[in-house]
Structure 1
Amino acid sequence: MELTKKGHACVRLTKGGRTLVIDPGAFSEEDAAAGADAVLITHEHPDHLDEGRLRVALDGRPGTEVWAPRSVAERVSAAFPGRVHTVGHGDTFEAAGFAVEAHGELHAVIHPDLPRIANVGFLVDGALFHPGDALTVPERPVRVLMLPLHAPWSKFSEVLDYVREVGAERAYAVHDGLLADAGLAVYGRNLSPDGPGTGPTAYARLAPGESTTV
């Protein structure tokens, strides 16, 4: 399948002429969800869920469906009855011809004073895992990890240890929309062979709009 970065945490997956979009949020490109056959939302934060971008997808294609945690599904289902599905940890389903498994339950801790919200990671076709805003380790091996590179809830040592623990063949950066070029360079160097070491995982970053085959 083809993987296209659509800014910050959003990616598009295309296979057999059908498109699955994960997390079209406010920091994503304007057309992040346009033309999608299915949309997956990991959690309710606006950098992962922009209702305007979601509406573009659902208004543009009457057959487009959405899968999301209950907090998101309840928020958007009234506008699109019958097209929004609630998912949680352990669920499996098919979306636009892609086999999807849900892993994880909670957003990472931002601060103990802030309540934690639901967060579901998605494993697509048993190969690519997008964890949303959590360092969830899926319950089986994956080939490609969408790596949350930078966030208010993480530090580099945690990110690196997460890469090592998942042990995917490749990791591609997501959740990098708050980093300037200097910060991206620092993360890139530390996740390269010049850094502490990522184990078996090769790290790369796709620029918004850039694609690769996975």
Structure 2
Amino acid sequence: MRLTKFGHSCVRLDTGQGFIVIDPGAYSDPAALDGADAVFITHEHADHVDEARLRDFHAARPDVPVFGPEALAATLGDLTFTCVSPGDAIPVAGTEVKVFGGRHAVIHPDLPLVANVCYLVDGVYHPGDSLTVPDMPVRTLLVPVAAPWLKLSEAIDFARAVDAPAVHPIHDAILSDIGLGLPDRLFPLLVGGSYRRIANGETATV
């Protein structure tokens, strides 16, 4: 399978039988949706789902299914939208998308928690805004490295717990060029040689 990063937490997976897009949000490249056969959203925050852009896409491609947690049904329910929950397995693009998770990580105790689901696609794991460790093996971990809800030490411990042979950073649009260097130095040191940054627009075999 081939993975292309489109900024922040957005990736497109080419299964050889179709294209799966995860989290095309406001910080990601609109080109992520080009040719998509299915769209998966982890949660309702704008950096993970750009509603206006998704509606424009749906107007042009109403046949393409959109999947996400039930909380998104209120805003996206008029699209070709399907609610998913942890434990679900969705056949799409010649593979199966398994659903994990449940809740967004705590940003601050005074802010309400929102639903967050995680996706495992043929061994590639996208946790959204959570540090949920799946109960099955992961070949490639997409690890969040910068967020209001996250310390870098937590991201490192999460990567260690998942113990995937390959680790690629996501959720990094809020970092400067200098800031990007920090996880790129610490992860190889503390997690190992499995860590490699995929640049925005770059495609890698996973």
TM-score, scaled to structure 1: 0.92
Is this contact kept in 2: 1:27–1:177, CA < 8 A?
yes
Write the letter of the residue equivalent to 2:74: E
Structure 1 Cα separation of the partners of residues 182 and 43 of structure 2: 28
Tell me by how many angstroms 1:17 deviates.
4.3
Give percent identity, aligned residues only: 49
Matched, 1:213 2:205: yes
Give the gaps of 5 or more residues in structure 1.
none
Hey, what's the Cα distance between the residues in 2 that align with 1:59 and 1:147?
32
Residue number in structure 1 paired with 2:26: 26
Q: Which runs of 5+ in 2 are unaligned?
A: none
Residue 51 (str. 1) matches residue 54 (str. 2): no
Q: Give 3-state SS (helix, strand or coil) of 2:102's partner.
A: coil
TM-score, scaled relative to structure 2: 0.96
1:203 aligns with 2:204: no
**Shift of residue 15 of structure 1?**
1.9
Q: How does 1:26-105 map to 2 (within 5 A)?
A: 26-78=26-78, 80=79, 83-105=80-102
Q: Report if the CA contact (8 A) 1:92-1:102 is conserved.
A: yes
TM-aligned CA deviation for residue 60 of structure 1: 2.6
Q: Which residue of 2 aligns with 1:121?
A: 118
Give 3-state SS (helix, strand or coil) of 2:58's partner: helix
Partner-residue secondary structure (3-state), 1:202: coil
Q: Does 1:148 align with 2:144?
A: yes
Residue deviations 1:37-59 (CA, integer Å, cap 9, x gap): 10000000000000122124322
Query: How many angstroms does 1:77 deviate by?
Result: 1.4
Q: SS at the partner of 2:195?
A: strand
Q: How many residues align?
A: 206
1:4 equivalent in structure 2:
4
* Distance in 1 of aligned mates of 2:32 and 2:111: 29
**Residues 1:185 and 2:181 aligned together:** yes
* Contact 1:36 1:57 survives alignment (8 Å): no
